[in-house]
Chains A and B, each alone.
Chain A
Amino acid sequence: QKEVEQNSGPLSVPEGAIASLNCTYSDRGSQSFFWYRQYSGKSPELIMSIYSNGDKEDGRFTAQLNKASQYVSLLIRDSQPSDSATYLCGKVGNNRKLIWGLGTSLAVNP
């Protein structure tokens, strides 16, 4: 089992809908979780960081962490075409390395 798993997609949603991106991980000792957005040909951009169980909201983005079930998700409300990108889930464990999932491609259709 990979340390971080994401559905590669593409996930396609209509404009204005909620996009739901999911990530599971295998190491129960993982402490820190991050969602990055990456446009084609650009560098990753931090969207959210989450460390505790529950929800964390920032504008249209909500990250959800469930350590018992070992999953972390990202909800994007009122999706816009400009949200079309690859979303990378990452976690840091005790070795301080950022371990990435393969990324989920999101397409928001006007």
Chain B
Amino acid sequence: DTEVTQTPKHLVMGMTNKKSLKCEQHMGHRAMYWYKQKAKKPPELMFVYSYEKLSINESVPSRFSPECPNSSLLNLHLHALQPEDSALYLCASSQFITGPARLSNQPQHFGDGTRLSIL
């Protein structure tokens, strides 16, 4: 069991559908992340939120739209996806601590992921 909860676990959608992935954490973490992972590859960073503000967007196509309604929730809205967007989508969270670099880089804790298939 993880302390970062993602729903749904599996999602199949057509290219014209609109759907959302949800992520929730109750560890008091103030940094949250979305990653995309293809088979046999490491996770690929998509977005980072720090204190509910978008701090990093890794040039992700606009068909992916993140949202952070509060410090515990992170959503990823999907629209007009392509078959190549089929992947495991991972949410992660971490402490966000300012100060000396080695103290500010806290480990990320991952949810179980959403397996997304685009038809």
Binary contact readout A66-104 vs B (1 if CB under 8 angstroms, 0 otherwise): 000000000000000000000010001010111011110
Cα distance A34–B90 when bound, in Å? 17
Complex interface: chain B residues within 8 A of A34 (CB)? 107-108
How many inter-chain contacts with C-beta < 8 Å in the A-B complex? Answer: 51
Give the number of chain B interface residues (Cβ < 8 Å).
Answer: 22
Instruction: Indicate whether B109 reaches chain A with its CB closer than 8 angstroms.
Output: yes
Chain A contact patch, size range: 20 to 34
CB-nearest residue of chain A to B44: A100
B42 interface neighbour in A45, A92, A102, Cβ under 8 Å: A102
Residues of B within 8 A of A (CB): 2, 41-43, 45, 48, 56, 88, 90, 101-102, 104-113, 115
Residues of A within 8 A of B (CB): 31-32, 34, 41-46, 49, 51-52, 88, 92, 94, 96-98, 100-103
